[in-house]
């Protein structure tokens, strides 16, 4: 499995297009999210020059993706879902980055690996952690996490906990989740 990280300025155009196509297939076609898309690409206002991407590929096909956003600029949680923070304001710090659009699905094998501790999910989380640490993050805040994701993170040795109480969004209990990057039993630096 190959992991690629970088911003839109650092990654080749074909990688950026591949990521946007993969996200469309995951979030729009598979999960049925009502997102504005164009020409089979899932991109939004948070896909900017300072956005970091982490992509997992196996035999040339995308099997995982994640997006990292600095919280000192507008990001998904702060702009669209601030209620997931409960009584706390959304974070704004150089040391906190948002993890969003995380998915690990191998469409060739039709395995949804984001909910299980598959090698793809574990590897993608480790690549995200490593990338975030290299860019000065000590914590991540996730948007639209489910109880299963929280359990998965803990099972994998991450210190993860809810930022606020779950909210029902599109019929699902979801919450923002803190992930401490320096307090983990994973050695993926």
Domain ranges of the chain: 2-184
pLDDT tens sequence across 78-127? 999 999 999 999 999 999 999 999 999 888 875 554 445 688 889 999 99
Q: Look at 3 and 31; give whichever has higher pLDDT.
A: 3
pLDDT tens sequence across 129-175? 999 999 999 999 998 888 788 888 888 889 999 999 999 887 888 89
Question: Quick check: 65 pLDDT over 90?
Answer: yes
Q: pTM value?
A: 0.89
Domain 2-184, classified CATH 3.40.50.2300, yes or no: no
Question: Quick check: 184 pLDDT over 90?
Answer: no
Q: From CA 171, how far away is CA 55, in angstroms rounded?
A: 29
pLDDT tens sequence across 41-55? 999 999 999 999 999
- Counted residue by residue, the chain has a size of 189
Residue 135's alpha-carbon distances to 49, 88, 124, in angstroms, are 15, 25, 17
């Amino acid at each position: 499995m190959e992991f690629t990280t970088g911003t839109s300025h650092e990654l080749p155009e074909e990688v950026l297009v591949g990521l946007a196509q993969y996200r469309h297939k995951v979030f729009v076609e598979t999960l049925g999210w009502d997102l504005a898309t164009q020409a089979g690409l899932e991109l939004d206002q948070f896909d900017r020059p300072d956005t970091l991407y982490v992509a997992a590929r196996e035999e040339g096909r995308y099997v995982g993706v994640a997006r990292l956003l600095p919280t000192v600029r507008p990001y998904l949680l702060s702009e669209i879902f601030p209620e997931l923070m409960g009584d706390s304001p959304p974070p704004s710090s150089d040391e906190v980055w948002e993890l969003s659009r995380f998915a690990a699905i191998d469409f060739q094998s039709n395995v949804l690996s984001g909910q299980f501790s598959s090698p793809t999910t574990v590897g993608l989380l480790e690549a995200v952690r490593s990338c975030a640490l290299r860019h000065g993050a000590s914590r991540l805040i996730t948007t639209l996490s489910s109880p299963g994701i929280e359990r998965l993170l803990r099972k994998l040795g991450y210190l993860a906990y809810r930022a606020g109480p779950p909210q029902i969004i599109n019929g699902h209990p979801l919450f923002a989740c803190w992930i401490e990057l320096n307090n983990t039993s994973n050695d993926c630096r």
